[in-house]
Amino acid sequence: MDIRALSIEGAFVVTPRQFPDDRGVFLESFRGDRLAEHLGHRPDVVQTNVSVSSRGTVRGIHFADVPPGQGKYVTALTGSLVDYVVDVRVGSPTFGQWEAVLLDTVDRRAVWLSEGLGHAFCALEDGTTAMYLCSAAYNPTGEHGVHPLDPAVGLELPEGVTPLLSPKDSEAPTLAEAAGQGLLPTWEACRAHAEELARRSR
């Protein structure tokens, strides 16, 4: 399993080693101990989510209050998607920037997003199934969003895709509006939370 840091602190792409034979393929899709070597703590998987999306579906940009936040480990079980990590942490040196990773059933990569990062994806095929391992349970009062098509963020959607958004996501504020409303986590709070998680694991 190869774990590589992305340019946004707290985000990693995980590429598993696959073992194919005439029966199919075997791989380790998640290793909390290996992630701990990079995070400073072992992620606590509290909730698993599964979404099934048609081609062009865009989910996000979603994030949660920190603390406790909600770390996410995202992979594709069927189909393919472009996964976006968006830095919505006010004060971060990469605030407003994003990275995209292709998640599919060929390389079977996964993405880890630490607490406080924004997450979105765009499904490339009908029936694309994404699985999320989450470090905290869903908390409707602590969950927020930024409009995924906010031009100031500038997510580059795949060519030829017509985006399909939920009513909630289509009504989400822009990044600037979310900042003005005090909805965004701060870099300072996210770093303090990460340090606290590391202390607990010692």
Catalytic residue numbers, as ranges: 62, 132
- Dihedral sign for Cα atoms in the order 124, 19, 38, 140: positive
**How many residues are listed for the chain in this entry?**
202
- What letters, b where the CB count within 10 A reaches 16 and e where it falls short, cover 152-183? ebebebbeeeeebbeeebeebbebeebbeeeb
DSSP assignment letter at 157: P
